[in-house]
Structure 1
Amino acid sequence: MSTHRFPTLAARGGAVAAALGLTLAAGAGVASAHVTANVYGDAPEKGGYGAITLRVPNEEEQAGTTKIEVTVPAEYKISSARTKPVPGWDATVEKNGSDVVTKVTWTASDGNEIPAGLDSYQEFDLQLGALPADADTIMLPTKQTYSDGTVSNWNQPQSGDAEPEHPAPVVELAAASGGHSHGAGGSHGAHGSGESAEGGHGGSGDNAEAAANATDDTARWLGGAGLLVGALGVGVGAGATLRARKAGKADS
């Protein structure tokens, strides 16, 4: 049975302010951000299956993004790749002769590219597995092609604290818990290439339940705070009325 702890008013207020600040900062940075690999929920486990969301911002003023090619290093020996359908985009999965995934490509149909300019981005959901059991991270070099033929290669590994000019998307892996069969991000399904996975971001049911519980806790806290403020208001009003009555009796 899970236990939910409700923070104090000051702590909750600080958390809300921090969350708003992070949201604004993230929104302001989309235009100049590079291609990144994101995980919604717990980090995928080593040896398990992971749901990854590739976020691709457009970075050309006069051209839109028409193709995204993700290289999956063969050394990871990943045998399954599934993509969530993106309206207006076709996805393909390539494997080598050893049935190892080597590339995942999304291609936009006419009129469905990520629009030109610095204000738009698109997310592409991908599920990979089984992930390597002996690596702390996986790197997914990504090639971004624009409608005017311009190509951006996001393939540089990060060394030290300094970020390279074109960093490759990286996913951190969690230690194996010993109880995963599909890892974070849901079941792996069939191993055929080019398959699509339904559902938002490919998240697990546990992650969705945790998010729902968090939302419910917040709603209860806000409702309780509203009732408390209302009760205080009633108490103050009642006290003022009693004092006025006593004052009137004393004057008479």
Structure 2
Amino acid sequence: MSLSHACRRLVAVTAGVTALTLGLALPALAHVTINPGTAVQGSFTKVAFRVPNERDDASTNKVEVSFPLDHPLPFVSVKPVPGWKVKVVEGKLPKPVTTEYGEVTEAVTTITWSGGKIEAGQFQEFEVSMGALPKDTDQLVFPTTQTYSGGEVVKWADEPKADGSEAERPAPTLKLTPAPAEGSEPAASATPATAPAASTSTTAPSVAPVALAADSSDGTARLLGGAGLLVGLVGVVIGALGLRRGRTS
């Protein structure tokens, strides 16, 4: 087998493997997701529900996101999306939930965006500001329904599996991390605390060596600059003499 034939065969095999890899990866990339995927417990955050269009023959024209009722969010607001209508629905909770802001009996249950279009090969992000995030859970799940112009309805409602494997149609999930413990500041933050003691001393601030070093380096730079200029002038003179001799000869 010739070298050129072997190279063509290698290229063909590589292309096939690449296409297979991309083909296997596409379904994972097409999921409806929440970005960023993590936030701090007890905080307020802004997230974007990223909705890709998976169909070549239809556009996405409606997206409905369901909010958790077991961990309601007291404050929710949406950012307008050009070309889309938004509807925020609030409802009574199955049972009141006590939060640091008091007892919550009603909360946002769904947010629906409609009237726009996500064409084939495109995606859209729908931004929501919400909080305060609960402190007694490590995740919030937002089941999402995606509707296509042809009438197809896809429900992204599968909760994360306990073994860590991916569900067939995973719901957008926001992972919650514990807030940093109070007083757990970096060690470097202790440095400013010693500054007042140093300022009460009668000793003059130790800035002179720094200024001296700056003057010294400045003088060195000027000396090197002058030497470079001198070398340049010598080169010009030598070049002129050489040109003159050439003309004379």
TM-score, normalised with respect to structure 2: 0.55
Q: Which has the larger radius of gyration?
A: 2
The 5 A counterparts of 1:86-97 are 86-97=81-92
Q: Which residue of 1 aligns with 2:133?
A: 131
Q: Which residue of 1 aligns with 2:30?
A: 33
Deviations 1:121-178 (A, max 9, x none): 0010011212111111211111001111101111112222321121111112232247
Structure-2 separation of matches of 1:29 and 1:53: 21
Structure-1 separation of matches of 2:74 and 2:114: 22
Structure-1 separation of matches of 2:110 and 2:176: 20
Q: Which residue of 2 aligns with 1:17?
A: none
Q: Which residue of 2 aligns with 1:175?
A: 178
Greater share of strand = 2
The 5 A counterparts of 1:24-173 are 32-39=29-36, 43-97=38-92, 98-108=105-115, 112-115=116-119, 117=120, 119-159=121-161, 160-173=163-176
Which amino acid is the alignment partner of residue 87 of structure 2? T
What's the secondary structure of 2:134's corresponding residue?
Answer: coil
Q: Which structure 2 segments of 5+ residues have no match?
A: 1-21, 93-104, 183-227
Structure-1 separation of matches of 2:167 and 2:159: 7
Q: Which residue of 2 aligns with 1:15?
A: none
> Aligned pair count?
161
Deviations 1:26-81 (A, max 9, x none): xx9699521000029xx432122111111100011111111111111100121221
Structure-2 separation of matches of 1:83 and 1:177: 28
Structure-1 separation of matches of 2:28 and 2:174: 22
What's the secondary structure of 2:89's corresponding residue?
Answer: strand
Q: Structure 1's 122 and 169: CA in aligned 2 closer, same or farther, altered over 3 A?
A: same
Q: Which runs of 4+ in 1 moved over 4 A?
A: 28-32
Structure-2 separation of matches of 1:47 and 1:31: 30
Which amino acid is the alignment partner of residue 141 of structure 1? P
The answer to whether the 8 A contact 1:58-1:120 is kept is: yes
What's the secondary structure of 1:100's corresponding residue?
Answer: strand
Structure-2 separation of matches of 1:35 and 1:113: 16
TM-score, normalised with respect to structure 1: 0.55
The answer to whether the 8 A contact 1:44-1:51 is kept is: no
What's the secondary structure of 2:56's corresponding residue?
Answer: coil
Q: Give the superposed CA RMSD.
A: 3.4
The answer to whether the 8 A contact 1:30-1:57 is kept is: no
The answer to whether the 8 A contact 1:78-1:100 is kept is: yes
Structure-2 separation of matches of 1:31 and 1:137: 20
Q: Structure 1's 134 and 88: CA in aligned 2 closer, same or farther, altered over 3 A?
A: same
The 5 A counterparts of 1:204-219 are none
Deviations 1:198-243 (A, max 9, x none): xxxxxxxxxxxxxxxxxxxxxxxxxxxxxxxxxxxxx9xx99x96x
Structure-2 separation of matches of 1:76 and 1:49: 14
Structure-1 separation of matches of 2:61 and 2:135: 34
Which amino acid is the alignment partner of residue 149 of structure 2? S
